[in-house]
Amino acid sequence: MSAVIIDGKAVAAKVKSDVAAKVASLNEKGIRPCLAVVLVGDNPASVSYVTGKRKALAEAGMVDRSVILPAETSEEEVLRLIDELNKDPEVHGILVQLPLPKHIDEKKVTNAILPEKDVDGFHPVNVGKLVTGEDGFLPCTPNGITVLLKEAGIETSGKKCVVIGRSNIVGKPMALLMLRKEFNATVTVCHTGTKNIAEFTKDADIVIAASGHPSTLTADMIKDGAVVIDVGVNRIPDSSKKSGFRLVGDVDFEGIKEKASFITPVPGGVGPMTIAMLIYNTLQAAENTLK
């Protein structure tokens, strides 16, 4: 048996196409969905992510109000910029690219963004809405994973789901989403304090790996026919590549694909969905101004 490889690029393209059509419709009503991406410094990974986000904005026909600031920009200046963007009615979404330079308090900056413009879904108000099941912006990566599961026709109701990782960006919100009645899974969260993770994953119907470490999940840790979603993006040195590295996920793809029923690749799996859902959230923020 060889797993069905879930094509995140294809699903993301479908989401972006739907968003672009709705953006065109909003333009006719005089609303131009606009996202401001704030980047402080020149961290290569962050620059790459921001470039991808700006490209997606252009493809969707959205207004790009990105602001690139030098690494030495003070916390006060960043907060002042966010205040200006909060007050600007033409800006619908604000995203501050993390990580920020060490002298800036990430929590303070995240909390300064108005919840109705927090298209990353990281503000405590939106996190609270996620917990209570109210409408709010959902974090892009976990929400993108639920779209992949739906598009692949994977049944989640009553299934045992193990999430590996408890970050505020992926692990915790992923577990909360899978607990919703819409998905109805029985969820276990494993983390660095979990003894013998395999004890839990071997019994799981769905394993979502977001540990941030290569080969966290290997073939001997899953049961036959399990669904495996790989959230990891790790750079491994590879002299045969022009860049000097290659990207791998958190799971042993080659070993697991012979045992799982479905699996996401890295790259080309969960990654493209993150940006697609960001564009979707920005559209939602613009539509909300009509209510």
Q: Name the active-site residue from 16, 117, 118, 120.
A: 120
Closest CA to 22 of 202, 235, 271, 287: 287
Q: Is 97 a catalytic residue?
A: yes
- Give which of 285, 287, 271 is closest to 95, Cα–Cα: 285
Phi-psi domain of 30 (left: phi exceeds 0; alpha: psi -120 through 50; beta: other): left
The widest CA-to-CA distance across the chain, in whole angstroms, is: 56
80 annotated as belonging to a binding site for a ligand? no
Quote the strand ranges of the chain, DSSP E: 4-5, 34-40, 63-64, 67-69, 93-96, 160-164, 186-190, 206-209, 227-230, 234-237, 245-248, 262-263
The alpha carbon dihedral of 32, 37, 38, 44 has a sign of: negative
CB atoms within 10 A of CB 239: 6
The amino acid sitting at 63 is V
Tokens of 32: 């131009």
166 annotated ligand-binding residue:
yes
Any known ligand binding at 233? Answer: yes
42 is annotated as an active-site residue: no
Clarify whether 284 is annotated catalytic: no
DSSP strand pairing (160-164 vs 93-96): unpaired
Per DSSP, the three-state class of 55 is helix
240 class by beta-carbon count within 10 Å (0-12 exposed, 13-18 middle, 19+ buried) = exposed
* Active site positions, annotated: 53, 97, 120
**Binding residue numbers for NADP(+):** 165-167, 233
**Binding residue numbers:** 165-167, 233
